[in-house]
Structure 1
Amino acid sequence: MTRTTDTDVIICGTGAAGLALAIDLARRNVGFLLIDKAPHPFIGSRGKGIQPRSQEVFEDLGVIDRIVASGGEYPVQRIYTDDGPVDKAAVEMSEPTPDEPYQIPLLVPQFLTERRLRERLAEFGHAPHYSHELVGFDQDADGVSTRIATPDGEQTVRAAYLIGADGGSSFVRKALGIGFPGKTLGVRAIVADVLVDGVSSDAWHRWGEDTAAQVSMCPLYGTDMFQLQAPVPFDVDLDLSAEGLTAFLRERTGRADVVIRAVNWASAFKMNARLADTYQRGRVFLTGDAAHCHPPTGGQGLNTSVQDAYNLGWKLAAVLDGAPESLLSTYEKERRPIAQAVLGLSERLLEAARNRNTHRGREVSQLDLGYLDSPLTLTNPERDNGVLAGDRAPDAPVTGAGGLPTRLFSLFQGPHWTLLGYDVDDASAPAPRRGLRIHTIGARGDILDTGGYVHSAYGLSSEQWVLIRPDGYVAAVVSTDDLGTVETYLDTVGIRPLAATRPPTAEPSTGMPTPSSSDSTGAPRTRREHRQIRTAAEQRLATAQRELHQLSRQVQRDLRTVRRDGETTAIVARSNFAELAVQSITRLAANLRTDRTDQ
């Protein structure tokens, strides 16, 4: 029996790209189905490097603490030579800076990264569906109809969009007839997760002067295992059992004391560098390894895949919420050139590794990649220094008006755009818009650049504004006089102004609002009705934000009075602040609860 259901997005593939996309859609209240033909999650360590830019992405997605706890910094490389072992750093160990809080790649087995992403997804009430194989699909002007083989029979699911995140052998890509040109790089390799005796876990062990005889063993943090890697001939049958790999290691290293006790996962593969001809065909998109295939050198594949998903997620949600369909065409225009550049880097690093040069520097961090040539970048020909439109938006420590420390990344976090005004007049701020948060920095604003870090990182002058995209890239840098161009830009990406008047609402009670997904008659609400409810909720939220902003300005005035009049006034100011803050935050919390309920 065939069952039929509907959703907004179907994601085929539960690797890092599919999971990151699912989390981003879940936090935006987009309906989706996440499927994989595999019977269970992937168990290998394969893509184990988490680069600094991906760490920033994981912070925004709310999973960075778990990722950090699951891994560690790259260990020292212990290179065994005829003259004895030599220890060398594997990566540049730079200290975090105010604008780049993540400087060091993390080593986390891929199966642990994906486990942490599944845990985060579960917090939104979602889970992957394993043993669900996409066996066919058809698309038309309004959506995609898919056929999915499940343990309970075939299921037909209709969605607005289908995402192929199903790896290098992507069924979705092949079904669309999209070419995957590139080359096999002349390297066959084995990779295995093993329990081993005879090597210490304080180093990444490397043997072999000759390229063809190299072998390495890297400790996998969070486990008792090592990842074994080695090039192997194309025409040799391989024994990937514990006994076979022990014999292989003895032959390569000359060490009889290195013994593999068990193999958790092993694979032999040919290294490829390939890039899909296109990332989109109609309402179907490719992401991750389905769109690009990298050699493992430099730890770029998983990171590029996660950032594909991070770019696509907010655009899908925006279009489903009424933004122009043309927004989705920017996904390929932004991400395909990035993949092309990263493929070139991975090939260069592979050639260096053949010559035993395995040191990695800033080039693998992905912090310097951006979208300067994107159609979403509002260029300013007059700006020739500081952060430019298309650059990654830097972090910076700042201080709230009440004196508490915070960071720009904390202001950016979440599914919204951010507009920062630097030393601007409040009266010049644009009107509130759905999905836009406005902050002003300086003595006249709600945020203080006490250490000058914002000025240093962004190169801003008085009366300048920076628009930050939901994925943490700069969309525009303009002066107050040119704010109209930003407002026009926001219209084109679906960030609409709120209604000029606030609908009448009752004062919040002390109890929680009653959740409801139906109207007063009990009938299910339509998407349009949900949208109207959300608009009203956002209007209430904008009102609360204005009240908090006014409160912060009052606090600043009170604190200036405190400095003039002394301790007694300070006590009164703190008392007034506490009372006003409780009232305003109570209203804001009630509105937030209502927002969550009504969506």
Structure 2
Amino acid sequence: MVMDVLIVGAGPTGLTLAIDLARRGVEALVVERDAGLFPGSRGKGLQPRTQEVFDDLGVLEAIRAAGGPYPARMIWRDGERLGEERMFDAIEADAGTPYTEPLMVAQWRTQEVLYARLAELGGNVAFGRAATGLEQDADGVTVRFADGTTARARYVVAADGGRSAVRRALGVGMTGESVDPAPCLVADVRLTGLERTHWHTFTRSDGTVVALCPLAGTDDFQLQARLAEGRAPDLSLEGVRELVAAHTYLDAEDVTELRWASDFRPRTGLADRFRMGRVLLAGDAAHLHSPAGGQGLNTSVQDAYNLGWKLGAVLRGEAPKTLLGTYEEERRANAAAMLDLSTAVHRGEVRRGKATVQLGLGYRKSSLSVETRTNPTGIRAGDRAPDGTVTGVRLFDAFRGPHWTLLGATTSAVGVRALPAAPESYGPGVFLIRPDGYVGWAGDSFDGVEAYLAEVGV
């Protein structure tokens, strides 16, 4: 049996891609080496652009119910309360940007929501299947598993994290740098004696930082610690208790439970390639970020969102295989920019706010972005398509689904929904919106739309 797509890894990247493929009628199986979903809170920040993606995929309401807003940060220095500060620079909402504040959702809760949505669409995850190697030919890819079994698919997507077994099997390198030489620890804990209205950050003059953030939608706190160089993180309950007692006003016994813990050293990494033949890399398998600024999980989700419609079009025979080449073209450049941003946030060079919400990201330089207007103003080909209202129809409602959307003209093309105009904020012209919410083509009139659609396989 040969399936359409085998997705290796059931994290946010793999689950998002599986959802997008399922709603397109593409046969995909997700395989996960662990016995269940990831249990920790690690990637807890969902940027506004990711919230728009989740709106389209039909999970935003459940995601919002699973989390909440970020609290202000309360700063402590050498045991003294210094005051509070906002985590993010405020961004004003308008008709085109309904979501402007990052949302805090523990990663394990995000994955539960995505997993439930995938099951609702008839998708499946096979747990306890660790990929160990693969071979590919002109027709497909055979993946080997640790239990001695194999699976055959027309395409394979590696979404199996920073230590990706698939990337290593392909021999694709990853280039990066250390962001911070200090060892770090992140953990989910239950504790008493600390109010949940602030993200408490305890700093010392020697550079040690211990932060306790109340995880919205749970009874837990996320513990983050930057330790002195040379100190090895202790991931045991006793070690965490000692750390908290030494750096906060809490006693060791106030930490009542350790639910999950991990250590790391902040670094960056960018895969040399995002595609090799019929195998594509996405998420942490393709790029590694410092956790500062909340860019990693969000960039990963958008990898999947970019890839889903392209794989669907190629597998249905609607688009040439060359369309998949635009995945690396668009997403590798985007990931490189996000790596620079997350590193700058980590080093205190950039504030969290307009730069980190990812609403300004786009693909103007992509070969898929065709701008034919003589003097374009407002939104251009390659830009994110803002929300708005046309003849009583909200654009994000019109965009929702696997189709394209044409603003400012009519068409009989299958798979394209048309509205008679674009909002004034777009500027004058006709706009063709891709399934992932970016402007693919823009022109002064309808002329050229059909040729573009034929080229991309609609």
TM-score by length of 2: 0.96
Partner residue, 2:159: 165
Partner residue, 2:118: 121
Q: Aligned to 1:330, which of 326, 343, 351?
A: 326
Q: Secondary structure at the match of 1:129?
A: strand
Q: Aligned to 2:242, which of 229, 239, 247?
A: 247
Deviation at 1:134, TM superposition (A): 1.5
Measure, in 2, the Cα distance between the counterparts of 1:256 and 1:134: 44
Measure, in 2, the Cα distance between the counterparts of 1:211 and 1:18: 40
Partner residue, 1:412: 399
Deviation at 1:187, TM superposition (A): 3.0
Q: Which moved more, 1:138-147 or 1:88-97?
A: 88-97
1:98-117 alignment, distance < 5 Å = 98-117=95-114
User: Residues 285 and 488 of structure 1: is their aligned pair in 2 closer, same or farther, counting only changes over 3 Å?
Assistant: same
Measure, in 2, the Cα distance between the counterparts of 1:159 and 1:346: 35
Measure, in 1, the Cα distance between the counterparts of 2:420 and 2:373: 24
Q: Aligned to 1:489, which of 441, 452, 458?
A: 452
Measure, in 1, the Cα distance between the counterparts of 2:341 and 2:385: 23
Q: Aligned to 2:390, which of 384, 398, 416?
A: 398
Contact 1:191 1:230 in 2 (8 A): yes
Contact 1:465 1:477 in 2 (8 A): yes
Q: Is 2:427 the counterpart of 1:459?
A: yes
Q: Aligned to 1:51, which of 38, 44, 47?
A: 47
Measure, in 2, the Cα distance between the counterparts of 1:479 and 1:492: 19
Q: Deviations over 1:264-316 (max 9, x none)?
A: 00011111101000100000000000000001000000000000000000000
Q: Secondary structure at the match of 1:42?
A: coil
Q: Is 2:339 the counterpart of 1:319?
A: no
Measure, in 1, the Cα distance between the counterparts of 2:93 and 2:134: 47
Measure, in 1, the Cα distance between the counterparts of 2:192 and 2:381: 53
Q: Secondary structure at the match of 1:437?
A: strand
Deviation at 1:57, TM superposition (A): 0.2
Partner residue, 1:597: none
Amino acid at match of 2:14: G
Deviation at 1:236, TM superposition (A): 2.8
Measure, in 1, the Cα distance between the counterparts of 2:416 and 2:388: 20
Q: Secondary structure at the match of 1:335?
A: helix
Deviation at 1:380, TM superposition (A): 2.7
Q: Secondary structure at the match of 1:58?
A: helix
Q: Secondary structure at the match of 1:212?
A: coil
Measure, in 2, the Cα distance between the counterparts of 1:257 and 1:95: 42
Q: Secondary structure at the match of 1:334?
A: helix
Deviation at 1:245, TM superposition (A): 1.4
Measure, in 2, the Cα distance between the counterparts of 1:318 and 1:258: 56
Measure, in 2, the Cα distance between the counterparts of 1:58 and 1:112: 14
Measure, in 2, the Cα distance between the counterparts of 1:28 and 1:211: 54
User: Residues 489 and 29 of structure 1: is their aligned pair in 2 closer, same or farther, counting only changes over 3 Å?
Assistant: same
Partner residue, 1:140: 137
Q: Secondary structure at the match of 1:166?
A: coil
Q: Is 2:241 the counterpart of 1:220?
A: no
Measure, in 2, the Cα distance between the counterparts of 1:177 and 1:250: 45
Q: Is 2:379 the counterpart of 1:387?
A: yes
Amino acid at match of 1:352: G
Deviation at 1:88, TM superposition (A): 1.2
Question: Per chain length, whose mean CA-contact separation is higher, i.e. which structure has more relative contact order (CA < 8 Å, sep 6+)?
Answer: 2
Contact 2:371 2:443 in 1 (8 A): no
Measure, in 2, the Cα distance between the counterparts of 1:384 and 1:211: 53
Partner residue, 2:63: 67
- Aligned-residue CA RMSD (Å): 1.7
1:342-357 alignment, distance < 5 Å = 342-352=338-348
Measure, in 1, the Cα distance between the counterparts of 2:52 and 2:401: 12
Q: Is 2:300 the counterpart of 1:308?
A: no
Q: Is 2:78 the counterpart of 1:78?
A: no
Aligned residues, how many? 455
User: Residues 211 and 384 of structure 1: is their aligned pair in 2 closer, same or farther, counting only changes over 3 Å?
Assistant: farther
Contact 2:373 2:443 in 1 (8 A): no
Contact 1:9 1:162 in 2 (8 A): yes
Contact 2:72 2:85 in 1 (8 A): yes
Deviation at 1:136, TM superposition (A): 2.2
Deviation at 1:221, TM superposition (A): 1.1
Q: Aligned to 2:172, which of 178, 193, 214?
A: 178
Q: Deviations over 1:342-370 (max 9, x none)?
A: 101111111118xxx9x521111000000
The runs of 5 or more residues in structure 1 that have no matched partner are: 401-405, 442-448, 496-599
Q: Deviations over 1:398-421 (max 9, x none)?
A: 334xxxxx3011011100111111
Partner residue, 1:13: 9
Amino acid at match of 2:404: W
> What stretches of structure 1 move > 6 A for 4+ residues in a row?
none
Partner residue, 1:520: none
User: Residues 347 and 211 of structure 1: is their aligned pair in 2 closer, same or farther, counting only changes over 3 Å?
Assistant: farther
Contact 1:198 1:257 in 2 (8 A): no
Measure, in 2, the Cα distance between the counterparts of 1:25 and 1:50: 22
Q: Deviations over 1:507-566 (max 9, x none)?
A: xxxxxxxxxxxxxxxxxxxxxxxxxxxxxxxxxxxxxxxxxxxxxxxxxxxxxxxxxxxx
Amino acid at match of 1:387: I
Q: Is 2:25 the counterpart of 1:29?
A: yes
User: Residues 271 and 84 of structure 1: is their aligned pair in 2 closer, same or farther, counting only changes over 3 Å?
Assistant: closer
Deviation at 1:328, TM superposition (A): 0.2
Contact 1:208 1:214 in 2 (8 A): yes
Measure, in 1, the Cα distance between the counterparts of 2:167 and 2:226: 29
Measure, in 2, the Cα distance between the counterparts of 1:38 and 1:244: 26
TM-score by length of 1: 0.74
Deviation at 1:479, TM superposition (A): 2.1
Measure, in 1, the Cα distance between the counterparts of 2:389 and 2:255: 48
Contact 2:373 2:444 in 1 (8 A): no
Deviation at 1:242, TM superposition (A): 2.6
Contact 2:405 2:434 in 1 (8 A): yes
Q: Aligned to 2:187, which of 179, 192, 197?
A: 192
Q: Secondary structure at the match of 2:30?
A: strand
The runs of 5 or more residues in structure 2 that have no matched partner are: none
Q: Is 2:433 the counterpart of 1:468?
A: yes
Partner residue, 2:84: 87
Partner residue, 1:270: 265
Q: Secondary structure at the match of 1:223?
A: coil
Deviation at 1:13, TM superposition (A): 0.4
**The structure with more radius of gyration:** 1
Q: Secondary structure at the match of 1:77?
A: strand
Measure, in 2, the Cα distance between the counterparts of 1:83 and 1:273: 34
Q: Deviations over 1:116-170 (max 9, x none)?
A: 00011011112211101212211111111222345xxx43322110000000000
Measure, in 1, the Cα distance between the counterparts of 2:17 and 2:230: 39
Partner residue, 2:226: 231
Q: Is 2:195 the counterpart of 1:208?
A: no
Q: Deviations over 1:457-515 (max 9, x none)?
A: 2012xxx31100000000111122xx3322111101111xxxxxxxxxxxxxxxxxxxx
Amino acid at match of 1:61: L
Higher fraction of helix = 1
